[in-house]
Amino acid sequence: MTLLERDPKAAPAWRGELPVTSRYTFGLAGERFFRAIQEEGRILGTRCDGCARTYVPGTIFCERCLGELDKWVDVGKVGEVHTYTLLYEAPDGSQRETPEIVAFVRLGDGGLVHRLGEVEPEALAIGMSVQAVFKPIAEREGSILDIVYFRPI
Amino acid sequence: MSMRKVAVVGAGMTKFVRRAQETAKELSWQAAHMALESCEMTMDDIEAVCLGTAPDSFDGIHMNGEYLSDGAGAWRKPFMRSYVGGGTGVFVPIQGWYHVASGLFDVVLVVAEEKMSSYYPHAQAAFLTIFDHTTERPLKPNLLWIFALEMNRYMSTYGIRKEDIALVSVQHKRNAADHPCALLGDPNITVEDVLNSETLAWPVQRYDVSPVSDGAVALVLAAEHVTKRVTDKPVWIEGVGWNLDTAHWTNRDLAYPRYVEYAARQAYEMAGIKEPRKEIHIAEPYDPFDYKALHHLEGLQLADRGQAAQLYVDGVAARDGDMPVCPSGGLLGVGNPIAAAGLMKIAELFWQLRGEAGERQVPGQPKRGLAQAWGDLMQVGTVVIMGR
């Protein structure tokens, strides 16, 4: 029995719903970070010189010293695969023939968890360089999915 | 019990607003940053962090404490989130207090945050999720009509008039006009305005209720030897108390908050207070609704049962009265970002007792104040007494 099948011997249950819909602001840092992705196809970080860290995505504060950060830097589109996984089971419980690949891509001292594309599972390697592939500018909407995936270079 | 003395040495507060552009963690950081600057400390001085935030559903992220931890300064520090619903804002400084009083840490950063505007279309819908799924939720309860039931019982038990309860809202919103961070300050509001406002769930009308808000507040707490080094105006935490009543509506006295009384008695005993009405110079009872301030003043033993409204009628509760109540402007006037609103009351006592409350300053150099919050499933009381 998979997780998604109901046990016919289960106790009678009351069905209820929790209505949860949220509108999230991007935040002061997020406004800057996502506008750069949408309008310029750039990935921005912020620099804390005192702690010698470049935060990606950029933040308005350093989590180490709680200092204010206003030095924005373009960290480029190329990062390094820090680790990855192959998603064989889909969210609905079915098996995929070709796994989806997600990776943590190091950019600056931070990075992004994102999809990898244009690569076969056999060719994956930790430490490989990958580059962000953006949607055409007209289709971007200020979302992390404006980056379609990262591909090897 | 052998416990160390603990003082509040710094405080910071964001504006309370309807809908902040800042993320929840950015709000937390702003308050934390201000608190550190106020006492010229850095994160190197902070040994542990206590965070208070109310239901995860407001911010729209589960494990909200962990989500907010970077903005609250928790990086590589002992960190703990506390949560007792609306009571959180006065519980999290208690948590900070015992971190220091116990001897475990010398300096603790306390942060409380709430971003209620994320919930769509209105934060009230989040409260639907706190009720029993089979006996209560099918009736689609919200806090407005839940409190309307309690308010009606309170009014009926003691024969209290709506116009006297409305005085609470008027005074708090007028006080808030002097608070630079306030959302709903109004120097000209009248009892008629309150009585003529839209009825939401009788007897609760629009101006009987505090607004949903976004905001954050932070404090720095320190042990005595550190306090002496960093400030010549320490404000000591002299007493703390907290208490939970039954979570069942059916099993609780709705006209009198016994759990607030027990929390207050714990705090009075610790502070060595025998006659609270003489020894408390400023009261900041929790006022998400105007009648709740009265309800709580009675539980706190600062008024006889059913008599708290008289403090407003007689002017005792006014900012220049014998026992000013909510000189900050309270939740009704400053705003109600749940956990942050409770900690705002502690920050207000800190500023008032140091003589730094500006236009809001209570005259006569007050020496001792009390802040209280309430919430959870409407059955928790949290109390802090501070003095100089």
Contact B119 A66 (CB under 8 A): no
pLDDT band (50, 70, 90) for residue A2:
low
Residues of A in contact with B71 (CB under 8 A): 61, 63
Chain A nearest-CA distance from B58, in A, is: 8
Contact A63 B75 (CB under 8 A): yes
* Nearest beta carbon to residue A61 from set B33, B60, B76: B33
B29 within 8 A of A60, measured Cβ to Cβ? yes
B291 within 8 A of B154, measured Cβ to Cβ? yes
Q: What are phi and psi of B7, to 5 degrees?
A: -120, 155
B86 within 8 A of B285, measured Cβ to Cβ? no
Chain B touched by A12 (CB under 8 Å): no
User: Are β-strands A44-48 and A95-107 bridged in parallel, bridged antiparallel, or unpaired?
Assistant: unpaired
Residues of B in contact with A23 (CB under 8 A): 117-118, 120
Question: Closest residue of B to A68, CA-based?
Answer: B33
Greater pLDDT, B143 or A67: A67
Contact B43 A61 (CB under 8 A): no
Domains of chain B as residue ranges with CATH: 6-120+211-387 (3.40.47.10)
Contact A21 B120 (CB under 8 A): yes
Asked if residue A57 has a cis previous peptide bond (ω within 30° of 0), the answer is: yes
Query: Which residue type, as a one-letter code, is found at position B314?
Result: D
Nearest to B56 by CA among A28, A30, A22: A22
Which residues, given as ranges, of chain B have pLDDT below 70? Answer: 1
Chain A touched by B43 (CB under 8 Å): yes
Residue B137 confidence (pLDDT): 86
Contacts of B326 (CB under 8 A, 6+ apart): B171, B172, B175, B283, B284, B285, B287, B293, B317, B332, B333
Q: Facing residues of B346 across strands?
A: none
Based on its alpha-carbon atoms, the radius of gyration of chain B, rounded to whole angstroms, reads 19
Chain A touched by B34 (CB under 8 Å): no
User: Are β-strands A21-22 and B119-120 bridged in parallel, bridged antiparallel, or unpaired?
Assistant: antiparallel
Residue B1 confidence (pLDDT): 61
* CATH superfamily membership of A27-152: Nucleic acid-binding proteins (2.40.50.140)
Contact A23 B73 (CB under 8 A): no
CA distance linking residue B283 with residue B321, whole number of Å: 11
Chain A touched by B306 (CB under 8 Å): no
Residue B321 confidence (pLDDT): 97
Map residue B181 onto helix, strand or coil. coil
CA distance linking residue B144 with residue B45, whole number of Å: 43
B23 within 8 A of B117, measured Cβ to Cβ? no
Query: Which residue type, as a one-letter code, is found at position A69?
Result: L
Residues of A in contact with B70 (CB under 8 A): 59, 61, 63
Chain A touched by B71 (CB under 8 Å): yes
User: Are β-strands B199-201 and A129-134 bridged in parallel, bridged antiparallel, or unpaired?
Assistant: unpaired
Contact B43 A66 (CB under 8 A): yes
Contact A25 B133 (CB under 8 A): no
Mutate to test the interface with A, among B15, B21, B124 (most CBs of A within 10 A): B21
**B48, two tokens:** 């542990």
Contact B20 A14 (CB under 8 A): no
A112 within 8 A of A130, measured Cβ to Cβ? no
SS (H, E, C) B66-94: HHHCCCCCCCCCCEEEECECECHHHHHHH
Nearest to B335 by CA among B189, B186, B183, B205: B183
* Nearest beta carbon to residue A64 from set B75, B117, B118: B75
Contact A24 B137 (CB under 8 A): no
Average pLDDT of the residues in A21-33: 95
* Nearest beta carbon to residue A66 from set B32, B76, B120: B32
* Global ipTM: 0.89
Maximal C-alpha separation, chain B: 57
Question: Closest residue of B to A67, CA-based?
Answer: B33
Greater pLDDT, B135 or A1: B135
CA distance linking residue B228 with residue B7, whole number of Å: 10
Greater pLDDT, B55 or A94: A94
Chain A touched by B20 (CB under 8 Å): yes
B97 within 8 A of B134, measured Cβ to Cβ? no
Which of residues 136 through 155 in chain B touch A, CB cutoff 8 A?
137-138
Residues of A in contact with B51 (CB under 8 A): none
Nearest to B194 by CA among B164, B169, B161: B169
Domain ranges (residues) in chain A: 27-152
Q: What is the pLDDT of residues A134-145, one digit of tens each?
A: 999 999 999 999
Contacts of A19 (CB under 8 A, 6+ apart): B125, B128
A91 within 8 A of A40, measured Cβ to Cβ? no
Residue A3 confidence (pLDDT): 56
Contact B22 A23 (CB under 8 A): no
Residue A6 confidence (pLDDT): 67
Which of residues 192 through 251 in chain B touch A, CB cutoff 8 A?
none
Q: Is the pLDDT of residue A4 over 60?
A: no
Chain B touched by A1 (CB under 8 Å): no
CA B310 to chain centre: 22
